[in-house]
């Protein structure tokens, strides 16, 4: 694998649940010019820690360095790159499509195919909720571009290691 | 509960006392007045600086000399931001500091209150860790954690932002508290497999070289390093900050390597078949052109900070651990190999390419430093500022014991040398302390002459006065067609009179013939600080020189006849 190739990485961190932690982490990425594509901060089963799931793209060597620098932060319990590992990765999206009565059936068919939930419906719009892997969400997005997407919000990817392995 | 009521400021000072803090280097202001007040009831001595940057460098000098965290106490806003250069300097060189900043009251945080600055935000990139105290009950734990983090592992500065309402809030300190640092792990012994691998490499090498960095000094590895070098007959070079990790008057020492290292150290780097770094981070001033640095040699890297591995160069063997513990373990495993031909080769280089300078003409900076070295014989703490004089001092002032050579390496902060000497002299009142500074850098922090005078510190400030920003001038001469831009220090004060106006002694050296006499006189003066203004030749250059970003093969030993290509490295 090319050391300098730009690809997407799934990183998870267990961090102290304190103000300022996010800044310290994002500074490590920013300093190396590494772009964060998505970032999810959420509580864990223990309230003193938070979980961060980050997807970022860039070359692998720089990322290795970044992971080591993240682990060096006092507020980071651990940071690891799960790229290439078998982990469960999910995200959720809400998509609001312009949907006059004429095309409603068509949109709902697409929605059903992707196992979306219809969470809001008005005369002209339809809001769909979809969960799954990034590929699935991307595919739905592509399908829906044939209609007018008014708004889209994605949660960003969350990651969990399978079995007894820790994330 | 102890049943005794304290306020935040008192608890902070209690915490410092528990850490056996001797000095606080500080400057008062509205937001830290409660702490200054609490300080009156403690045995800790306040050293009032004349500028917060000076206070920070003093604490840094104290810390480098003792290995204990230097403590800085400043007010909010401009007081805090004035420390940032000093904090960054300490961060780059892994120096333990605890910097306590007053802050506006918590309800005013983020409201642009008077003298409010988001110091946490400003300092994130240059601290090892930082705290904003929001609850007075946290004060004892945070102080303890701050010192622990600053001094352990790879040391560094820790900043504590203390809002004024927290400083005056009353509480009953609970003496039973634990530090809570689940994400902070300090590596100790390295991986045994890696150590065995390194031992094998070392035992097989015929042209090995040890590279001693600041980490070796921080971990007190000097004895272990010496045992390794002597047992295996391996020559030793050091980084600018590693000076003193191995005695430079030892037969196996080749002095400093890198951009302005000795020719023989750099030749050893070019020719070695193995190089092992003990607590250095292969900084860009050492590796030159990184991709071909020691290309054919086995490279071993011992570091307590994993993020230094594969950063500048990709070593064959990385050992993650404390330098002293790792080298001690290596010493039990290595088997001597024949390095006699290699040592003979190095002796030849030493004879053929010694550090040299012409003794005729105007006053020579190198002569001043060479004679100073002869007079003190390694028995002094020497601090150096940044510039040509720093490199000449590194070359000519031999460092024989750890923690006696203090200079800003990673940051190259002009203005560091003199205040650092104040901190060092306070830490070691009975030692000879000498600050070697340029006329440029000295003027950045010379207001601390007051601090040195009122504390009756017998330190010596040697100004290598070339009336230029010499190091920049050198680059303009060599790489920019002698087009001098912004380097002439016209308007310099009369440094002797200046010293006298502060109540310090002033000496002046103008001729090579006077160097020894005047230096001896100054060294014998111990009634307070003195300043020695050495008016040296204006346009001398530091050699050897490996232009930045270039391979070692591009090293120049003297002023080249033809113009040099502009260096590809940054600075
Ligand atoms: C705070 C700061 N500003 C600028 C520089 C860039 N710089 C590096 S060396 C140097 C010249 C130093 O001049 P001087 O103190 O007179 O020492 P000399 O080189 O002449 O010995 C300068 C300006 C620096 N290192 N630090």
Strand order in the sheet with B70-74: B45-48, B23-26, B70-74, B97-103, B157-163, B129-132
Question: Which residues 107-166 on chain A approach chain B with CB closer than 8 angstroms?
Answer: none
Query: What are the tens digits of pLDDT across the range B128-150?
Result: 999 999 999 999 999 999 999 99
Interval B344-357 mean pLDDT? 96
How far is the centre of ligand 1, averaged over its atoms, from the C-alpha of B143 (Å)? 36
Indicate which atom in ligand 1 lies nearest the CA of residue B365: 21
Superfamily of domain A7-85, CATH level 4: ACT domain (3.30.70.260)
The confidence score (pLDDT) of residue A5 equals 64
Q: CB B183 to CB A77 under 8 A?
A: yes
Structure tokens at A93: 């999206």
Closest residue of B to A68, CA-based? Answer: B307
Interval B490-519 mean pLDDT? 97
Q: Hey, whose CA ends up nearest to atom 8 of ligand 1?
A: B387
The confidence score (pLDDT) of residue A3 equals 52
A57 at the B interface (CB within 8 A)? no
Q: CB B125 to CB A61 under 8 A?
A: no
Q: CB A73 to CB B183 under 8 A?
A: yes
How far is the centre of ligand 1, averaged over its atoms, from the C-alpha of B84 (Å)? 18
Say how many Å lie between the first and final Cα of chain B, rounded.
56
User: Which positions ≥6 away from B484 have C-beta within 8 Å?
Assistant: B473, B476, B477
Q: CB B183 to CB A65 under 8 A?
A: no
CB B393 near ligand 1, within 6 Å: no
Give CA–CA dist A142/A163, Å, rounded: 33
Q: CB A68 to CB B306 under 8 A?
A: yes
CB of B386 closer than 8 Å to CB of B412: yes
Beta strand ranges found along B397-552 (DSSP E): 405-407, 433-438, 460-465, 505-509, 530-535
Give CA–CA dist B87/B155, Å, rounded: 12
Query: What are the tens digits of pLDDT across the range B505-516?
Result: 999 999 999 999
CB B417 near ligand 1, within 6 Å: no
Mean pLDDT rounded to a whole number for chain B: 96
Interval B170-175 mean pLDDT? 92
Give the pLDDT band of residue B5 (cuts 50, 70, 90): very high
CB B404 near ligand 1, within 6 Å: no
Instruction: Return the bridge partners of B533, or none.
Output: B463, B508
Question: What residue ranges do the domains of chain A occupy?
Answer: 7-85, 88-159
Q: CB B184 to CB A74 under 8 A?
A: yes
Q: Hey, whose CA ends up nearest to atom 2 of ligand 1?
A: B414
Q: Is the pLDDT of residue B361 over 90?
A: no
B181 at the A interface (CB within 8 A)? yes
Q: Hey, whose CA ends up nearest to atom 13 of ligand 1?
A: B469
A68 at the B interface (CB within 8 A)? yes
CB of B425 closer than 8 Å to CB of B457: yes
Give the pLDDT band of residue B354 (cuts 50, 70, 90): very high
Give the pLDDT band of residue B559 (cuts 50, 70, 90): confident
Angle between helix axes B323-333 and B192-204 (nearest 10 degrees) is 60
The confidence score (pLDDT) of residue B383 equals 98
How far is the centre of ligand 1, averaged over its atoms, from the C-alpha of B439 (Å)? 9
Query: What are the tens digits of pLDDT across the range B281-323?
Result: 999 888 888 888 898 999 999 999 999 999 999 999 999 999 9
Q: Is the pLDDT of residue B273 over 80?
A: yes
CB B540 near ligand 1, within 6 Å: no
Q: Is the pLDDT of residue B416 over 50?
A: yes
Considering only residues A1 and B184, tell me which one the structure prediction assigns the higher pLDDT: B184
CB B215 near ligand 1, within 6 Å: no
Of A119-128, B494-503, B543-552, give the lowest mean pLDDT range: B543-552
Three-state DSSP at B320 gives: strand
* B186: chain A residues, CB-CB within 8 Å: none
The confidence score (pLDDT) of residue B1 equals 52
Give CA–CA dist B387/B331, Å, rounded: 38
The confidence score (pLDDT) of residue B448 equals 98
Two domains, one topology: A7-85 and A88-159: yes
Residue B146: phi and psi, rounded to 5, are -60, -45
Catalytic, B115? Answer: yes
* B129: chain A residues, CB-CB within 8 Å: 73-75
**CA-wise closest residue to B369 among B360, B382, B379:** B382
Out of A61, A72, A77, name the one closest to residue B182 (CB).
Answer: A77
Q: CB B124 to CB A61 under 8 A?
A: no
CB of B87 closer than 8 Å to CB of B99: yes
CB B468 near ligand 1, within 6 Å: yes
CB of B239 closer than 8 Å to CB of B215: no
**CA-wise closest residue to B56 among B420, B383, B414, B449:** B420
The confidence score (pLDDT) of residue B2 equals 58
The confidence score (pLDDT) of residue A1 equals 44
Query: What are the tens digits of pLDDT across the range B12-52?
Result: 999 999 999 999 999 999 999 999 999 999 999 999 999 99
Label residues B121-137 b or e (16+ Cβ within 10 Å = b): eebbebbbbbbbbeebb
Structure tokens at B92: 């780059």
Instruction: Number of A to B CB contacts under 8 A, please give it.
Output: 42
Closest residue of A to B153, CA-based? Answer: A72
Catalytic residue among B4, B114, B497, B563: B114
Structure tokens at B388: 């040509």
Structure tokens at A97: 């499509």
CATH number of the domain at A88-159, out of 3.40.50.620, 3.40.190.290, 3.30.70.1150, 3.40.50.1980?
3.30.70.1150
Give CA–CA dist B456/B526, Å, rounded: 9
Indicate which atom in ligand 1 lies nearest the CA of residue B442: 15
Q: Is the pLDDT of residue B359 over 90?
A: no
Out of B120, B183, B184, name the one closest to residue A20 (CB).
Answer: B120
Pick the residue of A48, A74, A79, A80 with the most B CBs within 10 A to test the interface with B by mutation.
Answer: A74
CB B88 near ligand 1, within 6 Å: no
The confidence score (pLDDT) of residue B516 equals 98
CB B414 near ligand 1, within 6 Å: yes
Domains by residue range for chain B, with CATH:
6-171 (3.40.50.970), 192-352 (3.40.50.1220), 365-543 (3.40.50.970)
CB of B435 closer than 8 Å to CB of B420: yes
**CA-wise closest residue to A158 among A20, A7, A58, A44:** A44
Kindly give the parts of chain A with pLDDT less than 70.
Answer: 1-6
Interval B56-85 mean pLDDT? 98
B152 at the A interface (CB within 8 A)? no
Out of B124, B132, B309, name the one closest to residue A24 (CB).
Answer: B124
CB of A142 closer than 8 Å to CB of A154: no
CB B410 near ligand 1, within 6 Å: no
Query: What are the tens digits of pLDDT across the range B186-244?
Result: 999 999 999 999 999 999 999 999 999 999 999 999 999 999 999 999 999 999 999 99
The confidence score (pLDDT) of residue B411 equals 97
Give CA–CA dist B322/B95, Å, rounded: 16
The confidence score (pLDDT) of residue B4 equals 86
A17 at the B interface (CB within 8 A)? no
Closest residue of A to B124, CA-based? Answer: A24
Out of A69, A74, A75, name the one closest to residue B307 (CB).
Answer: A69
Looking at CA atoms only, how far is residue B508 from chain A in angstroms?
A: 47
Q: Is the pLDDT of residue B427 over 60?
A: yes
Q: What percent of chain A is helix, strand and coil (3-state, nearest 5)?
A: 30, 45, 30
Out of B129, B181, B307, name the one closest to residue A68 (CB).
Answer: B307
CB B440 near ligand 1, within 6 Å: yes
Out of A61, A72, A78, name the one closest to residue B305 (CB).
Answer: A72
């Amino acid at each position: 694998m090319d050391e300098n190739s730009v690809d997407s990485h799934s990183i998870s961190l267990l961090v102290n649940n304190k103000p300022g932690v996010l800044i310290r982490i994002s500074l490590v990425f920013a300093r190396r010019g590494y772009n964060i594509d998505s970032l999810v901060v959420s509580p864990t089963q223990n309230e003193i820690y938070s979980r961060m799931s980050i997807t970022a793209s860039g070359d692998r060597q720089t990322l290795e360095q970044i992971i080591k620098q993240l682990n060096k932060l006092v507020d980071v319990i651990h940071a690891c790159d799960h790229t290439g590992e078998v982990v469960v990765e999910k995200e959720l999206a809400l998509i609001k499509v312009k949907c006059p009565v004429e095309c409603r059936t068509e949109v709902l068919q697409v929605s059903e195919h992707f196992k979306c939930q219809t969470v809001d419906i008005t005369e002209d719009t339809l809001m769909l909720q979809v969960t799954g892997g990034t590929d699935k969400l991307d595919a739905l997005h592509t399908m829906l571009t044939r209609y007018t997407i008014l708004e889209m919000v994605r949660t960003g990817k969350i990651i969990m290691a399978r079995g007894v392995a820790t994330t | 509960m102890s049943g005794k009521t304290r306020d935040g400021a008192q608890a902070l000072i209690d915490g410092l006392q528990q850490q056996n803090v001797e000095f606080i280097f500080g400057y008062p202001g509205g937001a830290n007045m409660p702490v200054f007040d609490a300080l009156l009831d403690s045995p800790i001595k306040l050293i009032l600086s004349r500028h917060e940057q000076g206070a920070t460098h003093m604490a840094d000098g104290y810390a480098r000399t003792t290995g204990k965290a230097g403590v800085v106490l400043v007010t909010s806003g401009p007081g805090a931001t004035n420390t940032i250069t000093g904090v960054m300097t300490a961060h780059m060189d892994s120096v333990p500091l605890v910097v306590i900043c007053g802050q506006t009251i918590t309800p005013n945080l983020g409201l642009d209150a008077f003298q409010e600055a988001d110091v946490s935000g400003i300092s994130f990139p240059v601290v090892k860790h930082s705290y904003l105290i929001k609850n007075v009950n946290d004060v004892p734990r945070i102080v303890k954690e701050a010192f622990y983090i600053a001094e352990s592992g790879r040391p560094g500065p820790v900043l504590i932002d203390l809002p004024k309402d927290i400083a005056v809030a009353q509480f009953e300190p609970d003496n039973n508290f634990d530090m809570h640092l689940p994400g902070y792990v300090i590596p100790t012994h390295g991986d045994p497999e890696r150590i065995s691998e390194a031992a094998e490499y070392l035992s097989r090498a015929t042209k090995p070289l040890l590279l001693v960095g600041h980490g070796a000094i921080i971990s007190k590895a000097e004895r272990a390093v010496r045992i390794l070098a002597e047992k295996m007959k391996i020559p030793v070079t050091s980084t600018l900050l590693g000076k003193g990790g191995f005695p430079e008057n030892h037969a196996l020492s080749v002095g400093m390597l890198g951009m302005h290292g000795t020719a023989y150290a750099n030749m050893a780097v070019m020719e070695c078949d193995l190089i092992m770094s003990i607590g250095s981070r292969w900084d860009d001033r050492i590796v030159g052109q990184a991709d071909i640095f020691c290309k054919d040699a086995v490279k071993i890297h011992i570091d307590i900070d994993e993020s230094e591995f594969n950063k500048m160069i990709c070593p064959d063997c990385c050992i993650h651990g404390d330098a002293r513990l790792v080298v001690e373990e290596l010493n039990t495993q290595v088997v001597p190999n024949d390095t006699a031909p290699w040592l003979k080769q190095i002796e030849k280089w030493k004879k053929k390419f010694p550090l040299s300078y012409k003794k005729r003409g105007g006053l020579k900076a190198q002569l001043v430093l060479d004679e100073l070295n002869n007079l003190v014989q390694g028995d002094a703490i020497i601090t150096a500022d940044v510039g040509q004089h720093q490199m000449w001092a590194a070359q000519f002032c031999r460092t024989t014991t750890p923690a006696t050579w203090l200079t800003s390496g990673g940051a190259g902060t002009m203005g560091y040398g003199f205040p650092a000497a104040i901190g060092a002299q306070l830490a070691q009142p009975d030692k000879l302390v000498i600050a070697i500074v340029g006329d440029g850098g000295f003027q950045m922090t010379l207001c601390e002459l007051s601090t040195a005078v009122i504390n009756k510190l017998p330190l010596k400030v040697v100004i290598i006065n070339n009336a230029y920003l010499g190091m920049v001038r050198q680059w303009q001469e060599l790489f920019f067609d002698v087009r001098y831009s912004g380097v002439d220090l016209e308007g310099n004060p009369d440094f002797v009179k200046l010293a006298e106006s502060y109540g310090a002694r002033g000496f002046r050296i103008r001729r090579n013939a006077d160097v020894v006499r005047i230096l001896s006189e100054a060294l014998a003066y111990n009634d307070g600080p003195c300043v020695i203004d050495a008016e040296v030749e204006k346009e001398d250059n530091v050699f050897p020189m490996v232009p930045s970003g270039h391979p070692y093969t591009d090293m120049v030993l003297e002023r080249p006849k033809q113009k040099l290509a502009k260096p590809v490295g940054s600075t």
